[in-house]
Amino acid sequence: MHSSPGSRAPADHGSAEDAFLEYFARRDDGEGVDLEQYCARYPQWAEELRALDRDWRELAVGLGRAAGPTVDSSAVGSEAAAEARARAIVDETLARLKRSADGEVAARYRVVDEIDRGGMGAVLRVFDEDLRRELAMKVIIQSEAGSPLAAPARRLARFLEEARIAGQLDHPGIVPVHELGVDEQGAAYFTMKLVRGKTLRHAIVRAHDPQDADWNLTRVVGVLQKVCEAMAYAHERGVLHRDLKPANIMLREDGSLALIDFGVAKLRDSAAELTRVGEVFGTPYYMSPEQGDGAPVDERADLYSLGVVLHELLTGRKPYVAATPMAVIGKHRHAPLPRLPEPFEACQPLLERLMAKAPESRFESAQEVLEAVAELVARPADARATGGDELHSA
> Which residues form the catalytic set?
243
Are 24 and 10 in contact by the 8 Å Cβ rule? The answer is: no
Burial 76-86 (b: 16+ CB within 10 A, else e): eebbeebbebb
CA distance linking residue 347 with residue 80, whole number of Å: 46
User: Do 97 and 183 touch, CB atoms closer than 8 A?
Assistant: no
Query: Are the C-beta atoms of 258 and 284 separated by less than 8 Å?
Result: no
Report the DSSP pairing between strands 197-199 and 177-182.
Answer: unpaired
Burial class (CB in 10 A: 0-12, 13-18, 19+), 369: buried
- What pairs with residue 273 in β-bridges? none
Query: Per DSSP, which regions of 208-260 are E strands?
Result: 239-240, 249-252, 257-259
